[in-house]
Structure 1
């Protein structure tokens, strides 16, 4: 563990790619313009934890803590997680093979032998793990019984020599598995079982505990985001046959009530988890849920169909809440869902978890795509489309696709987007990273993974927004879409410049026009013809439609105003001329500067928009983590802005 006893402990290099300007301001502004859009239309970066952290079959808890911390630190909000039920220990594990119970004799003749003490290493100096100085041992080969004692006797210090002293060609069909236990400098030993290296602390509870730490540390209106967990359910391979297929579990071997997946997820995240049953309740009566907010927080129109029942209640069968409602009224920041469920786990009835964890396929919809060598999509893009409204043909609800194989440097240019990733984002498709980058995992080097996240920034041009010019009330305080070096991206401008205006039909999210006349920013609202409104794009696909409208004009290279400014407060981007920065103290009780996440061992009461919100302390958490709220970056106490 780190010296400050936290689980969430990213490298400073990871933090600096996201939580300092201009990146922090750019991502906040992009989040904030979409606060009133249903969350299923947010195209944010997704990653496979297996590919980013465990591609070498190393499941050591210190390396994992650093890897997951770095992925959260650079800004990944969506995670594909492979979870294994270890029937031998009755635990949801992140290790694909069963581990022996402490002090319990291993069954089926699999023997445990000890090896010299090691200090596990992630392999580079950039991933700072307190317990690490040596090289991670290579995966164990299955050995013949007669050769085990000889191999162990010759293993004086180098774990690599131990692993390489036998090869698959010399293994007989009668070989028995052997577990090699490597005591570590601190903590539990590292076990080599088949091709896997695991420590017993590699559990789902460790992951949710780290995520709880991250949520507490980013528990401000300026840093809060929604985290999605898509859980693929597997049975762990048998300890007696670690390299073979996992066994079919019987009813006696599956998780019992206290070990159900929903119980584990709720153990650390109950106060911030958005349960699936809540979605059904809210959809059934929108008047008492999503519409029961201040008018400026009402969901944007046109993103889902509504009807009215016999009782006069408005309901929807397909809609999702907005981020504004989830985070800033209900204080919910985590959504968990089942992904795939292996046949070996068929005896486990996942429907028993559906009150808290969404059914398979709920938060992911695989989109079939094909790419040109330039990274452009040949097929699968939701744009271009002649439809101006959200229909079954333009509905990108939780659509996801993986880019082709990415070649990237270990020290990439963060100002340069990965074309396939940025094009997926522009097409309103979640870019799913299902590969390791630059031949490394995120604990060893987070920078390639940061470059991936940066490529999902669809709004501001690289290096934007620029700081406000000192001494000026208008310079660099307004935003325009340009068609220059970064077509369709936003840049800051002097609000006194005369430009055309971006106009949207609020009933048709994808209908955009550019006004014929020009004005300064203060009077740009009057440039839009009725029923269009001066607006800012709220999603990547809306932005693509506005850019297309700009390209159709007679002067496509002239900037166009979008309804986004920081006239009131520097670094606080807001919509509308007289809007108040939501991060300032206000008498409006529907605005709060700090999103409080439960951190004490009692019930905390929050009042926001006439709602009293009771938050239960998560179980099995340490008292010494209480009370954190703000991120320190470069010695400054940092608190950003939804714009």
Structure 2
């Protein structure tokens, strides 16, 4: 990739997300859930430590490719381990302190290495390789990185992963560091069992994410990204593989270097903050309800009360994705995760107006999964419950699956059972291991398989193309839920076909009935009896409840293996919409050109135009001024960042 672009995924990663049918599948699933509060959505989550750094290689080019690939295949939630380095006075992704010119440790120089970031086995539609052995599984340790897998020579001899660290933990008081000069950027330094460059920092991560948000700032590509930061102290140079030291107040960040300061540097305008949530909850009439009726938040997902002034407010609600993305342009939510004891004197107070406190967006559910991938405990689906209760409360719920054995060239049309079942139970599956014995920069395909397995709406290979000029006005333009071969998944059908109808009580998200009579799609709404309405599942858990209703219905009507759900392309051939007269979230009725890119939202373009004009005149008056945000994206740690050649 040329220039200063940081977001640079492999084509193999992009093809698993942005080509048909995957792009339409993911977009349709996002669209049907736009009115549901973001805390009830299930999204694929991943630990960067496991997906990018499992071999203890912390090199900035490799990380750039790894994070780009994870974003490219569709991960939407990231657990990020950040380390405060008092020597560099900065937040690093490397678990050990980086040397400075004034350090007293010995530094040896080695030959120049050329960093290799080429994908080793990322090819679509190739024959399946021999599966690797069962991968080990360790939960992240709070105070040490010693549980990580040892470095392995898994690349070419000139790549950082070919360096074989020999230092034993906690044996040398003054270890010798080995620097490997690189052809692009700062040297790679071997420190104990770690190989790091000084550019592998939180600043690089936020700058890369900022580029990704710009690249996907369209109404067809936008989605919410969640970041959870685990705070650690970097291990000492004198004992790189030992426990990190307890940092004193004088060694910790000062104003300008707080965690929120770094995140703000590249993500200020895109981040939804605790202050935003607090203000919006206090007066719903002036926030979440100040939208068109069809964009109002779905009923039944949070409690609403009226205060003494007659204003509606909530204490437990979150905004919908439609409100965040299309109304306010927010696409990032950040939160603290764990904070190590070595960082106990770090005051998170200045960060709390920008970053949510620990535990706010994470609710870890303990689950048990059998050999077939079914949940034997921990599922949030309860067939007897029709509303959100303590049993069915999937707010911010995540679960870590047991060790996954996925080969290097997986069948992307074959979902991983345990991941699919976690999602159906209302849990966001959290990947806390490397897949296929490799990191995502080397091969994104196993990670794409994980993301695809978290889909709960259209079946693999769906939706079929409904925009062909050879099709009639109704052919393959409506959607049904089926029992087989993928129970509860959706596929397209001809709208004149007759099926029973999915009917939902609009005040109870999990209360579904199957109509007593069949109908074509046009007459489906009249098949539901009051107060039930023809509807569509908006979340994975709603989908599970509808499937349960269909399975119960089949006990008396065994031939009914499919039902209509309220989704069609009748009047909008380039967009799946709800209702006969449904409105596409990103295409006007007079503009249905599928090649047109619509920026989120249109008014943003007007604002950018005005700002650009103002900037032009300001620069004419004072040419020395630079755009702070642009400078941050191109200068990381003082280096002119050119990106990885594609």
TM (norm. structure 2) is 0.85
User: CA shift at 1:342, angstroms?
Assistant: 0.4
- Check if 1:176 corresponds to 2:181: no
Q: Which residue of 1 aligns with 2:490?
A: 490
Question: Which residue does 1:559 correspond to in 2?
Answer: 562
The yes-or-no answer on 1:74 pairing with 2:77 is no
Q: Deviations over 1:371-419 (max 9, x none)?
A: 1111100011011331101112211100111111000110000010111
Per the TM alignment, residue 123 of structure 1 is displaced from its structure 2 partner at its CA by: 7.0
1:244 deviates by 1.2
Matched, 1:595 2:593: no
2-structure distance, mates of 1:167, 1:203: 24
Judge conservation of contact 1:127–1:443 (CA < 8 Å) in 2: no
Q: Which moved more, 1:499-508 or 1:173-182?
A: 173-182
Deviates more, 1:567-576 or 1:214-223: 567-576
The equivalent residue for 1:630 is none
Counterpart of 1:229 in 2: which secondary structure?
Answer: strand
Distance 2:45 2:377 in 1: 20
Match of 2:529 in 1: 529
> How far apart are 1:520 and its partner, in Å?
0.8
> Structure 1 residues 212, 453: closer, same or farther in 2, change over 3 A?
same
1:49: which partner in 2? 48
Match of 1:106 in 2: 103
Change (3 A) 1:460 1:99: same
* Contact residue 67 and residue 442 of structure 1 kept, 8 A: yes
Contact conserved, 2:167 with 2:192, CA < 8 A, in 1?
no
**Structure 1 residues 308, 161: CA separation in 2 closer, same or farther (over 3 Å shift)?**
closer
Matched, 1:345 2:343: yes
Q: Is the 8 A contact 1:400 1:429 kept in 2?
A: yes
TM-score (structure 1 length as normaliser): 0.86
Structure 2 residue aligned with 1:276 = 274
In the TM superposition, 1:497-508 aligns within 5 A as 497-508=497-508
Partner of 2:399: 401
Alignment of 1:120-159 (within 5 A): 120-122=115-117, 124-125=119-120
What pairs with 1:115-514 in structure 2 (closer than 5 Å)? 115-122=110-117, 124-125=119-120, 163=164, 168=168, 173=171, 176-468=174-466, 469=468, 470-514=470-514
> What are the superposed Cα offsets for residues 46-72 of structure 1, whole Å, 9 maximum, x if unpaired?
000000000000000000000000000
- Aligned pair in 2 of structure 1 residues 239, 570: CA closer, same or farther (>3 Å)? same
Aligned residue number for residue 623 of structure 2: none
Measured at CA, do residues 254 and 600 of structure 1 come closer, stay the same or move farther in structure 2, by a change above 3 Å? farther
- Offset of residue 351 of structure 1: 2.2
Alpha-carbon deviation of 1:174? 5.5
Call closer, same or farther: CA 1:619–1:471 in 2, change over 3 Å: closer
Aligned equivalents of 2:87, 2:181: Cα separation in 1: 21
C-alpha distance after superposition, 1:337-372 (max 9, x if no partner):
000000111111112211000000111101011111
CA distance in 1, matches of 2:393, 2:28: 24
CA–CA separation in structure 1 for the residues paired with 2:162 and 2:349: 47
Q: Which residue of 2 aligns with 1:568?
A: 571
Shift of 1:570: 1.7
For 2:107 and 2:8, the matched residues in 1 are separated by 33
| Distance in 2 separating the partners of 1:172 and 1:209 | 35
Q: Residue 140 of structure 2 aligns with which residue? A: none
Q: Deviations over 1:282-333 (max 9, x none)?
A: 1111111111111110000000111111111111111100000000000000
In 2, the alpha carbon distance for the partners of 1:571 and 1:55 equals: 41
Cα offsets for 1:124-160 (capped at 9, x unmatched): 54579xxxxxxxxxxxxxxxxxxxxxxxxxxx99989
Match of 2:63 in 1: 64
* Residue equivalent to 1:580: 583
Deviation at 1:239, TM superposition (A): 1.3
2-structure distance, mates of 1:219, 1:563: 28
- SS of 1:618's equivalent in the other structure is helix
* Residue of structure 2 in register with 1:27 after alignment: 26
Indicate the residue corresponding to 1:543 in structure 2.
Answer: 543
Unaligned runs of at least 5 residues, structure 2: 124-156, 592-596, 614-626, 636-646
Deviation at 1:519, TM superposition (A): 1.1
Cα distance, 1:559 vs. partner? 1.2
- Report Cα offsets for 1:207-251 as digits up to 9, x if no partner: 000000100000000000000000000011111211111111111
For the 8 Å contact 2:170–2:242, the answer to whether it is kept is no
3-state SS of the aligned residue for 2:260?
helix
CA distance in 1, matches of 2:162, 2:391: 57
SS in 2 for 1:522: coil
Contact 1:66 1:127 in 2 (8 A): no
Verify the 8 A CA contact 1:227 1:334 in the aligned structure 2: yes
Paired residues, number: 576
Contact 2:266 2:633 in 1 (8 A): no
Q: Residue 253 and residue 217 in structure 1: after superposition, are their counterparts in 2 closer, same or farther (change >3 A)?
A: same
Judge conservation of contact 2:80–2:227 (CA < 8 Å) in 1.
Answer: yes
CA deviation vs aligned residue, 1:60-86 (integer Å, no higher than 9, x gap) = 000000000000000000000000000
Q: Which runs of no fewer than 5 residues in structure 1 stay unpaired? A: 129-155, 606-615, 625-643
